[in-house]
Structure 1
């Protein structure tokens, strides 16, 4: 036996040879394993099969033995070994095959000729001849082709070498992720260097080719070859919209600064406005994550034309942070600000704030364990509309709640201290009032539970103290005390039933809830810091107070009667259907109001109901509404149907929203239909239509098409929508995705907002491939 080489046997056949590495492991769809076929999108013709897929790449170390086999062998003692016919060499997870091999003992070099292959975990190379060093594992292959299984990246080159561990160098070659013999797109370069240890590649004199037509050139480029982060340019985005001044072009640059923080700089040119830049920074500590987003333009030409007296300098900022300190403690911060009221509609591209009229600034700490909760925060707002609608700042607000057992009883406490403040210059009446509010609601309850039902009688005392400033209706220090009694009871009844060939557990859950609140009739002398009327729907039938916030406590002497029935699949336990219906019976008039709303003299409410149906894992139907039995009319209705195929190629939704309102002018009714529907394995149509019955007008449309194959996709979408000021705005957006290289354009956020399930679909479009 020659040193370093172990000749195992003669006459073993080598693996089938091919001039192209990708063709060796490529299999048509019908020949793939069943599990791999089920994960493969319909628009993919096949996939790669490798017995070593998913393993780590092994690099030979000094002293690693080499096993060899061939049809014939000839030794030259202490100098060389010659192997001919079906040659196979294996070392530390690397296998080489060829027709002839010469091993030089002194240098450790093996020269292999004939059609040859080199296979290591996750990588396959093929060529006409190769040089391999058994001591270092470095090699060079001429007239070569390659395949990386994990990324499905393949290509050809005049030569391929491994000059360093985990580094592959491709000379005068190209790469693509398309199927063999189908180069829909490719990157052609004079020198490509793939660093598998760091997960990125670099290339010199690069051109992007579609089919065989060059469409773009870079003198130098860097790109990812797996899902790890890497500093460099991202793909440019561009489009058109009449919300700005036409065309825009952005060139994002990603900065991978450290494992725990990074940033993205996005300079962009907007026609008619100038150079606008956005920066997003992300920081991850052992406590949590923080994100800072900033947008800035030094001289907005379009804004100065519209507002001649204003500066063209504009900016926006958004900061968010979440932290967990351990021991039940956590913290948070959310701060948003813009230079002017029109910034969000004119310029915002990336800030995580919508076209809101009020921007929240809030930060605080929270503690929670099994029986108590504590939170303290400060909050304020930037108002982008009329200052008279400016909400109060909480400087600060402190909340404490606890529930503890006391024998057969349960003791509870909800408490809150808030100082409300805002600029009240020019305001009159109660709108001028600022100051402090302290509220405490102690409760004693008797919870009784059994497998067949429950009952929970309780009494509480809602106490509120005010210490006000700029209060003009009397003594600024006053209090309000409201005793409240509640009794909540329910029964669980169930049976087994069959429906459409499946076994279900059907439950019947009657529920009776009574509340008595001895609130004073006139609370109009109390400022409205944060109160509002609770929406009337099924989930809110079991609340003791018809108002939210702390400045109104409703008078109540009423009982809620409700019934819920559920169908749970016996095999999976999943809830397939739920039906609920309830009504409130009033034994006294409701006198406490807020801005004229919330009172009433009727003895019974409308029926509130909801239905949720999930007959399939891919189909969700939800219906809820209010029905007035006295006038036999529907007061409110909301219905949504959402369907997606198991592979998310189909996305279909339909919705209807209706509100009768107090008069015909307040009526609201909209219908919404949308979907992404494939018409072939590769082409899908995209559409959405929103119609407002009150305006008798279409208020939003979205139409486009999508093309998919296994290595790239294209989306083109035209969007038209009506703004709050009844102006019609439109834009055209598109996106091109090259598998393994990312994409350009920006339909993603538009379609994600328009279609339920779109984000899951995007993850599957390229991520589902094995």
Structure 2
């Protein structure tokens, strides 16, 4: 469930008018950035700025008659200017005593970037009030483009604001001040055509850009000349600020839920907290009630989400989900967090999640932590954590876990690092108890521009105190191991050219020697340890395992050779190639239960390549070759051709011997003017298992866009979730239907949005 900046859409009409307001920040899907986007929405500025002091009224025309200080009759290219407002007309009668001007014939009023045209206007010049008869109008405002909160927090420059132009006609437009309009029997659209594909028709429409609020009555949304939505009363914000009301509904369908409809209602409770209530009707299962409550205060923020389905018609029982995240800064380096997630049953996400990524979720975390950070030299935390497993695999709970890290990065070329940890592991019918360890390490850092040498020594000391009720081994056990290593690398570079373009080529050899003596660890429990993936990162690490329950004996040398091509002007890496391997000087003796020890003297050979091999074409490859069997253990290869935005084809292959052979094909490609095809097929060809199939089309008509997509995804229950998406977007302002955009972005590397998309208003994206 992801948060997003919310705007009260009140069906279609208010969202369309809202597009003409000042910037509103749109957020991408992702749990971690929700408060950043929320804060950005709360910090929006008003549309208007302070106006200058009133100035004189200037009138120019081909012919001017009248009486001084009483009246003016002007004709022929008449222009009246005052305080940033300009009025053009064929004829103007201006009564100076009442300050009222009556303009007729090709009347054009410009107020900033706004323009209004009509046959007749009555207007009081100084007060900036009046009424247009039978006008057409165009209102222009700036709006921020879609901008992720991750980019915001990373300090990436925002793209330029988008200019949104709204236009229409009205029976009359009342001008009620410098920034106020009252429209009767008005239409509105962001389409530029005289025959717009869509428009809104409202009996009355009030726009107040001083207060940044608007009100519409009896608003009807028309698409293709057909009315498809109606709102009797629709108050709405004009600058992206939050306001209570209905959000745009979403609908879709899948084989799991049937017809799927949500009608969210947003409550703007206070500037620093809000609530969204989302009834969701699923044709096969029933009515689900969802709610999201968010709060933001100095030093703390959080979000509480709940879901409840009474008596699932397919499952036969009531089902529920709860998610609560809270982060707080106490000051002086202290902070805390709560992350609690729970569902009523293991199949909840596979059956009921509206987001594709959750259908394969295998576990949920419930934890509370209290942390301290004194800068780079000292940090620590206290953690209590439980895991709800959604599969048959049960993980250990940590109740509690204490950890600290003392780190001195630089002291006369030496660095000192000492992690400390004490964790109480709990798991039903398994070894339970405390594991504590300390690992003080001292390194000497000899670093020069041409290379580095880093010798390092440390002592890894671990102690177990187990619960006698479940332990089959000794209740008290300990392990102390000295660890020593030597890491060295050299940097060579030379200037060269490729196709006449200057490049810098590097050659970077690296050697890493590791020595860890053998200690018998067969009687020690295994709480959180598993084999680490063999790769370039792992061959330069101190342990074959991820976790602390096994420290593998080692007398080995790792070597790698990397070469890169770098653009000397920008520093960008163009191509990277690397070779790596490990040589063992003794057999492996420390293993996990059921694991066979390694007896080979040489490890698998590693090779990788990444970079642009042809114009607009990139290639990424990785291989792990076993010299003993003369076979590849695993490998990946990916080729992507992307000649332009929203134009990409990719092919990738993943292989692991005796496990899988995955093939992945994905694309987004224009098939004709403004019509794009999208698709992806991913599966294991060794077992003829389809993991995901996706197909769809996108059509961009300028002021509206259509997306149709269908997806079939293999979930954790071994069944397929088939989902169908249909979304209509109007002017990049409001969308109707169920958006497949987030799914397409995750599934197709290099996917480009064919128009400025609207954020999904309900709990993020699919």
Q: TM-score, normalised by structure 1?
A: 0.84
Moved more, 224-233 or 407-416: 224-233
SS at match of 1:752: helix
1:547 corresponds to which of 545, 548, 562:
545
Rg (Cα) greater in structure: 1
Moved more, 193-202 or 135-144: 193-202
Counterpart-to-counterpart distance in 2, 1:619 and 1:366:
47
Contact 1:592 1:598 in 2 (8 A): no
Q: Call closer, same or farther: CA 1:651–1:331 in 2, change over 3 Å.
A: farther
Unpaired runs of 5+ in structure 1? 1-53, 305-311, 662-666
Counterpart-to-counterpart distance in 2, 1:477 and 1:490:
42
State the partner residue of 1:375. Answer: 381
State the partner residue of 2:415. Answer: 410
SS at match of 1:694: coil
Q: Call closer, same or farther: CA 1:331–1:351 in 2, change over 3 Å.
A: farther
Q: Does 1:272 align with 2:284?
A: yes
Question: Once the two structures are superposed, what CA deviation does each residue of 1:457-478 show, in whole Å capped at 9, x if it has no partner?
Answer: 1110000122221354454222
Counterpart-to-counterpart distance in 2, 1:731 and 1:351:
9
SS at match of 1:152: strand
State the partner residue of 2:147. Answer: none
Counterpart-to-counterpart distance in 2, 1:583 and 1:105:
92
SS at match of 1:761: coil
State the partner residue of 1:749. Answer: 742
Two-structure CA RMSD over aligned residues (Å): 2.6
Moved more, 361-370 or 460-469: 361-370
Q: Call closer, same or farther: CA 1:268–1:162 in 2, change over 3 Å.
A: same
1:288 is displaced (CA, Å) by 5.0
2:266 corresponds to which of 232, 239, 254:
254
Return the structure number with greater relative CO, CA threshold 8 A, min gap 6: 2
2:461 corresponds to which of 441, 460, 463:
463
1:546 is displaced (CA, Å) by 0.8
State the partner residue of 2:762. Answer: none
Q: Does 1:687 align with 2:658?
A: no
1:636 is displaced (CA, Å) by 0.6
SS at match of 1:749: helix
Q: Does 1:131 align with 2:122?
A: yes
Q: Call closer, same or farther: CA 1:654–1:586 in 2, change over 3 Å.
A: same
1:594 is displaced (CA, Å) by 0.9
State the partner residue of 1:4. Answer: none
1:595 is displaced (CA, Å) by 2.5
SS at match of 1:346: helix
Q: TM-score, normalised by structure 2?
A: 0.85
State the partner residue of 1:678. Answer: 670
State the partner residue of 2:508. Answer: 509
Contact 2:261 2:280 in 1 (8 A): yes
Moved more, 441-450 or 290-299: 290-299
State the partner residue of 1:447. Answer: 445
Counterpart-to-counterpart distance in 1, 2:348 and 2:113:
49
1:389 is displaced (CA, Å) by 2.0
Q: How does 1:327-406 map to 2 (within 5 A)?
A: 328-349=333-354, 355-364=360-369, 365-367=371-373, 369-386=375-392, 389-406=394-411
Counterpart-to-counterpart distance in 1, 2:52 and 2:125:
8
Contact 1:225 1:740 in 2 (8 A): no
2:74 corresponds to which of 61, 65, 83:
83
Contact 1:56 1:121 in 2 (8 A): no
State the partner residue of 1:25. Answer: none
Counterpart-to-counterpart distance in 2, 1:226 and 1:740:
15
1:677 is displaced (CA, Å) by 0.7
Counterpart-to-counterpart distance in 1, 2:444 and 2:103:
86
Contact 1:533 1:547 in 2 (8 A): yes
Contact 2:474 2:523 in 1 (8 A): no
Counterpart-to-counterpart distance in 2, 1:377 and 1:214:
56
State the partner residue of 2:487. Answer: 488
Counterpart-to-counterpart distance in 2, 1:597 and 1:518:
20
Q: Does 1:237 align with 2:250?
A: yes
Counterpart-to-counterpart distance in 2, 1:281 and 1:598:
51
Q: Call closer, same or farther: CA 1:516–1:156 in 2, change over 3 Å.
A: same
Q: Call closer, same or farther: CA 1:138–1:606 in 2, change over 3 Å.
A: same
Counterpart-to-counterpart distance in 1, 2:127 and 2:597:
86
Counterpart-to-counterpart distance in 1, 2:65 and 2:483:
101
State the partner residue of 2:653. Answer: 656
Contact 1:265 1:279 in 2 (8 A): yes
Q: Call closer, same or farther: CA 1:62–1:488 in 2, change over 3 Å.
A: closer
Counterpart-to-counterpart distance in 2, 1:733 and 1:594:
46
1:732 corresponds to which of 724, 727, 734:
724
Contact 2:46 2:239 in 1 (8 A): no
SS at match of 1:753: helix
Q: Does 1:315 align with 2:328?
A: no
State the partner residue of 2:6. Answer: none
Q: Does 1:158 align with 2:171?
A: yes
1:627 is displaced (CA, Å) by 1.1
SS at match of 2:588: coil
Counterpart-to-counterpart distance in 2, 1:446 and 1:627:
34
Counterpart-to-counterpart distance in 1, 2:488 and 2:702:
57
Q: Call closer, same or farther: CA 1:340–1:511 in 2, change over 3 Å.
A: same
Counterpart-to-counterpart distance in 1, 2:661 and 2:360:
23
Q: Does 1:192 align with 2:192?
A: no
Contact 2:403 2:419 in 1 (8 A): no
